[in-house]
Structure 1
Amino acid sequence: MFTLDQLPKSIQTKINEIEKDTESQQLIGKPGYTAIDESTLYDSIISLALEKNVLLKGPTGSGKTKLAETLSSIFCQPMHSINCSIDLDAEALLGFKTIDNKDGKATIEFVPGPVIQAMKKGHLLYIDEINMAKPETLPILNGVLDYRKTITNPFTGEVVQAKKGFGVIAAINEGYVGTVPLNEALKNRFVVIDVPYVQGDVLFNVLKEQSQLTDEKLLKNYVTLSADLIALVQAGNLSEEAASVRALIDTCDLSLFLPPLRAIQRGIVEKLEDDREKAAILNVAQTLFD
């Protein structure tokens, strides 16, 4: 089990020196990420402590968001999130102007978005599915992501310099439907961390700790189910979301009150659209749960 004592003393000092924001505790992520290879978490911590931007690369359901939350917890830093889509624009990133009424007078106020908030407060910024955004939207962040850590707010003209402690974590799922290749100039601004699927004994412990299911025989069967689904994903016969740890935890919880096959139907199968994929999962499940 990874502990902070494994980090070099200089990195521990850097983490401890970050100013803690006691007013935004509700934005600090919950820990819980567990990896097959501890270097995944270790290297992410080192990179953030050295003020590098971290790009988490892995399949859907491999735990990229949970890793980001765990990093937020370790650094005791609130985290502001951006969920990228084709509709993402500068206002969603930086903020927007609105009309406010003060003392009977209408005034124009700027409401800061997640980028501006994280920079000014020295918080973490999490950009989920960064390659879902339109390529023309992201260059606005170039100055934020390089050594300058600054941006000129186009809505106010203010030059914003990131406060000490500011860090950026992004997540990417390459080849997923709706994604586009990340611009090389943008990608070059990140340290890339591979986040593989959690499997075997590590997955067993994750399910035991994060689900409500306590039946060890059932938990072991779900670990086997996960391994079989991952094999189908890697062979190109199943969508990545079918092997999601999040979906598996849902299924474990349902198993407290539903037969396993019905829990799998509700927690995993019905989240998919393709009838052939649904049938494939049920075929695998029926060999494990009679």
Structure 2
Amino acid sequence: MDSFIEQTLAMRAKRTYREEDRLLIQKGGYVSPNPNLYDDILVALSLKKPILLKGPSGSGKTRLAQSISALFQQPMQSVNCSVDLDAEALLGFKTIVSQDGQSTIEFVDGPVVTAMKRGHLLYIDEINMAKPETLPILHSLLDHRRMLTNPFTSEVIVAHEDFSVLSAINEGYIGTSPMNEALKNRFVSFSIPYLQAEQLRTVLEQAVPEAEAPVIDTIMNLSEDLSKQAANGLLADEAASVRSLINALQLAVHMPVDRAVTYAIAELLEDKMERDLVNELTATWVK
């Protein structure tokens, strides 16, 4: 792993390699659910491929992006997509600046332009929440050209050598829409599943070090049940999300586990039958 990381960093921007980067994952960064996933994503990024992360809410997609940003010592510019996302939110906007009694119009770079010019990591979250007509402006940026023409300034921007793109989607969620094929085909895609077994325990112990082992055991047992019910279609995927499990464990340090699970997991579900099922599963593990 050490030699791989060194080679990958060398392929990146010849950035200084730090010993502490080797320990990033063990110190609260992203924990890969299988031996190859994290390494393969690093290789694809090193080859300047735009990356599409597919997975349910709470599976660690944003944490993965943050870990890569830290590993490469590369600042991250973020775009949170919604139906209201427009070109200004992506590229920037014009504003009037007054100085020495004179008013001038200046352009304030948005996250996309900033990342392109400075060689930052661009993270586009929930890209399938954006209106399809908003994103074609990024097409030339995401293919071999790695450039775009800013419609607000007519400036032709060629991406910095270190510039890279990570985007994330939650498939099948309310408010999302299928990605346009012309956009999707510009990405290399990776599925990001929920953590299981010892990987999940590691994350829980790191996130809530004050939690006692029996409480963690209860949350682990419940997680397995929730995952099975979600796989059978009886629960929404987010019921088994790592984020929700961490929230429940943090609450369980200060209150009974059953109440913690109710607040952190069950009450977030829209369907009453699903809420009742979560509480019933919890009751089987809480004595």
Q: CA deviation at 1:188?
A: 1.1
Counterpart mapping for 1:87-106 below 5 A: 87-106=84-103
Q: Structure 1 residues 31, 167: closer, same or farther in 2, change over 3 A?
A: farther
Residue of structure 1 aligned with 2:207, choices 192, 206, 210: 210
Q: TM-score, normalised by structure 1?
A: 0.91
Q: Which runs of 5+ in 2 are unaligned?
A: 18-26
Give CA-to-partner distance per residue, 1:193-226, whole Å, 9 cap, x none: 1111101111011100112443112112211211
Counterpart-to-counterpart distance in 2, 1:162 and 1:279: 51
The equivalent residue for 2:277 is 280
Higher mean alpha-carbon deviation, 243-252 vs 229-238, is at 229-238
Partner of 1:249: 246
Contact kept, 8 Å, 1:80 with 1:125, in 2: the verdict is yes
Matches within 5 A, 1:71-150: 71-150=68-147
- State the SS of the aligned residue for 1:169: strand
Distance in 2 separating the partners of 1:101 and 1:8? 48
Structure 1 stretches of 4+ with a deviation exceeding 6 A read none
Give the paired residue count: 278
Distance in structure 2 (CA, Å) of the matches to 1:88 and 1:80: 15
The equivalent position to 1:13 in structure 2, one of 10, 14, 32, is 10
Contact kept in structure 1, 2:9 and 2:72, CA below 8 Å: no
| Match in the other structure for 2:153 | 156
Q: Does 1:177 align with 2:183?
A: no
Structure 1 pair 117–150 and aligned structure 2 pair: CA distance change class (3 A) = same
Shift in CA distance, 252/213, structure 1 to aligned 2, threshold 3 Å: farther
Is contact 1:82–1:114 with CA below 8 Å preserved after alignment? yes
Q: Choose the corresponding residue for 1:168, options 154, 165, 169.
A: 165
**Range with bigger deviation, 64-73 or 118-127:** 64-73
Matched, 1:224 2:221: yes
In the TM superposition, residue 8 of structure 1 has moved relative to its aligned partner by 6.9
After superposition, give the CA deviation of every residue in 1:94-139 in whole Å (9 maximum; x if it has no partner). 1111111111222111111100000000000000011111111111
Give the RMSD, CA atoms, in angstroms. 1.7
Write the distance in 2 (CA, Å) between the matches of 1:57 and 1:288: 32
Scaled by the length of structure 2, what TM-score is found? 0.92
Check the 8 A contact 2:28/2:207 in 1, yes or no: no
Look up the equivalent residue of 2:225 and give its one-letter code: D
Counterpart mapping for 1:31-50 below 5 A: 32-50=29-47
**Counterpart residue type for residue 267 of structure 2:** E
Distance 1:200 1:19 in 2: 35
- Tell me, yes or no, if the aligned pair for 1:61 and 1:241 is still in contact at 8 Å: yes
Distance 1:275 1:123 in 2: 44
Cα separation, 2, equivalents of 1:31 and 1:108 = 44
Percent identity reads: 49
- Tell me the residue number matched to 1:188: 185
1:67 pairs with 60, 64, 68, which one? 64
